[in-house]
Amino acid sequence: MSAHDAGRDPGFVEKYLYSTDHKTIGLQYMLTGMAMALIGAFTVYVFRMQAAYPGSSVPLFGRVAAADYNYLVTMHGTIMIFWVAMPVLIGGFGNYLIPLMLGCDDMVFPRVNRLSYQIFLLSSVVLVASFFVPGGPFGGAWTAYPPLSANSAYSLTPYGSTLWLLAVALEFVAFLLGGINFITTTMNSRAPGMKMFDIPIVVWMIVLASVLFMGSVGPLVAGAVMLLLDQVVGTGFYDPSRGGDPVLWQHLFWFFGHPEVYVLLLPAMGIVAEVMTVFARKKLFAYRTIVYSAVGTGIISFFVWAHHQFVAGIDPRMASLFSVTTLIISIPVAEMFFVYIATLYGGSIRLTTPMLWALAFVAEFLLGGVTGIFLGSAGSDIYFHDTYFIVAHFHYTFFPIAFIAAFAGITFWFPKMFGRMMDETLGKVHFWGTIITFNVCFLPLFVTGTAGDHRRVFDYSGFAELATPQMQNLRILATWALLAMLAFQVVFLVNFVYSLFKGEAAEANPWKANTLEWLASSPPPHGNFETMPVVYRGPYEYSVPSRDDDYWPQYEPGDTADDGAPSGPRSVEQGA
Amino acid sequence: MISWLLPQASSFASTVDGLVLLISVIVGVWFILAEAVLFGLIVKFQARDGVRGRYVSGEEKTEKRWVSYPHYAVIVFDIIIIAAALRVWNDVKVVAPPSEEQVRIVAQQWSWTFVHAGLDGRLDTADDIRTVDDMYVRRGRVYTFELHSRDVVHSFSVPAFRLKQDAVPGRIIRGWFRPTLEGTFDIQCAEMCGLGHGLMPGRVHIGSPTQHEEWMRGLTNPGATARTVTPATPVTRVAANDPAYAHPGETR
């Protein structure tokens, strides 16, 4: 906060490239994530073309060799999770929104925040650099199981595997630094009057996600150091012939890897809660239930990791235990989705572009959620493990998380971020184009997976059961849908750039929303608020009967529960 | 449901399929219900002029039950699914019936080596029969296998059996199956194992007792093994040059 000199005009470099302003850092994260998404999209384009038309030359790439296919699927997974979902949802929205929604001028540690982005940028550069080293990028899947990842005699990518690991480790450091800021800021810098249960859900979710991340990433960092030593120095942590154990890595990886799912899911659900309440003009149904469910989900998520390893050679009796914990986690997650659906009841729903995205998140994630039951049940996972059924399942979770919720957030907060409205028509074309093609792309993969298609196979011609014309037609259908989906993203980019310069000017609170960021001007200046806000009520007081307006901003002075109003909104919060 | 797409070639295939069907019905109903309610609410509560949203906190007991009753039902169904899933898991992976035949499966980059016990029914004897990428089994017999990996993590997967098990270097992992259908079915490597991961197809040949005996006799001569390897797959060339191939009896 001392870093702010409100009166001075910073130069271009200090304002956009070397800034300590949380908004700039948030946008840096977001734009870097979007740039990485283009690389992630290119990789999927190439390997899906190979899957549909094996052996043919892919435009802009050429013939896809087995090694190419492996690194393309590896990089697609790595980039989309660590370099798109994480920076956009956590780095982007977290940095941009937390200080604004809490009503403070910046993060508690602005320079740590800047360092966080710089390390993240470095990690992106290291990852992209791995495309150009001798031997090519790492191709051992985003899970990087040793001994394949530990020994270049197996992976044939001596530099690629090391750079991959280094990039991931740097990325973790970046998000640890960011997480420290998120948690500290939320604990210490809330506007006067903002109690724990007045914090908007999206902030709760991002902070809980940061706690989960910090709690789970430590073992994996230790694991990554051991893997790095195996690769570079030739130690044998994961080499059974020298007393090591490859399964150790799987435990360390998934101990992080499963909480990571919720690290990404929670912020996405937070974004959706904000958008849904605004456009349904409804108070969030059972606010505290959502917070408690999210906490419960987070805790249980530390006890489910081995469901990725049912058939990995762990003691089969252990699988029973993890099957139970895995199905238990469906309880708080189902609760949250029920609550979201219940929030719509009695609403006054306006289907704007952000609202369409938010509703689509719920509708699509439901399918991702219920198909997870097949995989969490040890008995059926024997069959589905490592098939395209899993691919379809987690795309029905991760695509809603990383893209649908992110689009909801971007279209919702765009006016705040850039001071201009996005185009609604282009927004709706983009929405329907993306949602329809997404389903046409991934529904067939449930079928091929159920028929036995296993993952990461660049050519099915050796498999009599899989090389049938019916199966190939499904693969081709999925690929065409993917191409159409990618094409529709051009609409988004056009809308984004066009609106950035030519969009209708946005007022401070164009959606008539309650939370504090809408008090700041659009876009907010350095330091955010002209006068620092005071909070009088919870974030979701929409359609309060005693008022003329159907919204009641948190910052607006007025009745609290003390005035004895029968439906006093404050009373609910004070019951806490 | 899987059986619409793929034959059931092992004794536990129908068990796994039954579990999948059970889960499909339960989650299918929930999925359709939830989507129906979601879309119903979206349609019913469209913004209309002069009609405001209702103020519902969702914190009252009478309101909460709309969420908590379905939620109790979810818990009940979770328990049903857990019970069924663990029973199937137990039948396939934990408890094995008494072994009648043995086979050793060795995975490596990028091929499968199968050591059949031969006519004496015991591994590590002179009449062991070693094949690459083709496994020969007899219908109706209970096979126990031991699974090895020579290099990285692989996964022995036979979709028609509904069987999958990772092969981990440094470990011998045991399991079982009982083939119930005659014919030839795919063997896949289901775990990313490097450059040739997609080029690791194998086949399991299930024969009647007489047919199986014929195969075994034809294969007893080690020279015959090479002829049974399909020359079309480039993988087999890799395997053919492997030292393990030249020294029967030694697996690691």
Residues B226 and B200 occupy one common structural domain: yes
Q: What's residue B141's pLDDT?
A: 95
Residue A7: per-residue pLDDT: 54
Taking only the tens place, the pLDDT of each residue in A207-237 is 999 999 999 999 999 999 999 999 999 999 9
Q: Which residue of A245, A282, A312 is in closest CB contact with B166?
A: A312
Mean pLDDT across the stretch B201-222?
Answer: 86
Q: Cα(first)–Cα(last) distance of chain B, in Å?
A: 40
| Rounded-to-integer distance, Cα A462 and Cα B186, Å | 9
The verdict on B114 and B215 lying in the same domain is: yes
Can you give the residue range of the structural domain that contains B151? Answer: 101-240
In the numeric block, the tokens 């695509």 are attached to A399
Give the pLDDT band (50/70/90) at residue A185.
Answer: very high
Q: What is the pLDDT of residue B245?
A: 41
Domains of chain A by residue range: 10-199, 512-576
For chain B, what is the mean pLDDT? 87
CB distance A196 to A204 below 8 Å: no
CA-to-CA separations, B62 to A323, A445, B25, B67, in angstroms, rounded? 34, 42, 30, 10
pLDDT recorded at residue A11: 77
Task: Provide the mean pLDDT of chain A.
Answer: 93
pTM for the predicted model, two decimal places: 0.92
Whether residue B140 is predicted with pLDDT greater than 70 in this model: the reply is yes
Give me the phi and psi of A544, to 5 degrees please.
-70, 125
* pLDDT of res. B126: 83
Instruction: Judge whether B185 lies within some domain.
Output: yes
For residues A109 and A99, give the distance between their C-alpha atoms in angstroms, rounded to a whole number: 12
Same domain, B222 and B115: yes
Residue A14's pLDDT is 76
d(CA A350, CA A392): 31
Could you tell me how many CB contacts below 8 A there are between chain A and chain B? 311
Pairing of strands B101-108, B143-149: parallel
Phi and psi angles of residue B19, each rounded to the nearest 5 degrees, phi first? -65, -45
How many Å apart are CA A86 and CA A217, to the nearest integer? Answer: 14
The pLDDT score that the predictor gives to residue A569 is 41
pLDDT in tens, A475-512: 999 999 999 999 999 999 999 999 999 999 999 999 99
List all residues 6 or more positions away from B243 whose beta carbon is below 8 Å from its beta carbon: none
Cβ pair B37:A316 closer than 8 A: no
* Structure tokens, B236: 């087999």
Looking at the predicted structure, is the pLDDT value of residue B247 above 80? no
**Number of other residues whose CB lies within 10 A of the CB of residue B35:** 15
Domain assignment present for residue B169? The answer is yes
B118 has pLDDT over 60: yes
- Asked if residues A387 and A454 have their Cβ atoms less than 8 Å apart, the reply is yes
Superfamily (CATH H level) for A10-199: Cytochrome c oxidase-like, subunit I domain (1.20.210.10)
Whether the CB-CB separation of B167 and B105 falls below 8 Å is answered with yes
pLDDT at A6: 52
Beta bridge partners of residue A513, listed in sequence order: none
Q: Chain B neighbours among A 541-560 (CB < 8 Å)? A: 542-545, 550
Among B77, B94, B111, give the residue marking a domain's end: B94
Q: In the structure, what pLDDT confidence band is assigned to residue A164 with cuts at 50, 70 and 90?
A: very high
Cα B148 to Cα B172: distance, rounded to the nearest angstrom: 5
The Cα A391–Cα B125 span in angstroms is 43
Rounded-to-5 percentages of helix, strand, coil across chain A: 70, 0, 30
Based on the domain organization, do B110 and B10 belong to the same domain? no
Q: Is the pLDDT of residue B250 over 90?
A: no
Q: Of B94, B119, B145, at which residue does a domain stop?
A: B94
**Which chain A residues in 318-347 lie under 8 Å from chain B, judged by CB atoms?**
319-320, 323-324, 327-328, 330-331, 334-335, 337-339, 341-347
Q: Which residues of B fall within a CB distance of 8 Å from A345?
A: 41, 45, 54, 56, 66
User: What gap in Å lies between CA A55 and CA A70, rounded to an integer?
Assistant: 15
Give CA torsion, residues A70, A72, A75, A76, to 10 deg. Answer: -120
State the DSSP H helix or E strand holding residue B41, giving kind and residue range, or none if neither. helix B13-44
Is any Cβ of chain B less than 8 angstroms from the Cβ of A468? no
Distance, in Å, from the CA atom of A242 to the CA atom of B235, rounded to the nearest integer, reads 28
| Other beta carbons within 10 Å of B44 | 12
Assess contact for A474 and A448: CB atoms under 8 A. Answer: yes
Question: CA-to-CA distance for B159 and A241, rounded, in angstroms?
Answer: 31
**pLDDT score at B219:** 78
Return the pLDDT at A558.
Answer: 82
Last residue of a domain, one of B94, B129, B155: B94
Once rounded to an integer, what is the mean pLDDT over residues A232-253? 94
Using CB atoms, pick whichever of B55, B74, B94 lies closest to residue A545: B55
Looking at the partner chain, which of B67, B157, B171 has a beta carbon nearest the beta carbon of A342? B67
**Does the beta-carbon distance from A313 to B166 stay under 8 Å?**
yes
Q: B190 contacts in A (CB within 8 Å)?
A: 385-387, 454-455
The pLDDT value recorded for residue A8 is 63
Task: Label residue B127 by pLDDT band (50, 70, 90).
Answer: confident
Q: CA B216 to CA B200: how far, in whole Å?
A: 24
DSSP sequence for B45-67: TB-BTTBPPP---S-SHHHHHHH
Structure confidence by residue, pLDDT tens digits, B33-83: 999 999 999 999 999 988 899 999 888 888 888 888 998 999 999 999 999
Q: Does B135 lie in the same domain as B224?
A: yes
β B173-177/B143-149 pair status: antiparallel
Question: Is there a contact between A466 and B186 (Cβ–Cβ < 8 Å)?
Answer: yes
pLDDT digits (tens, 9 = 90+) for A10-30: 777 777 778 999 999 999 999
In this structure, is residue B251 part of a structural domain? no
Nearest to A97 by CA among A421, A89, A557, A213: A89
Count other C-beta atoms under 10 Å from residue B14's C-beta. 15
pLDDT at B229 exceeding the cut of 90: no
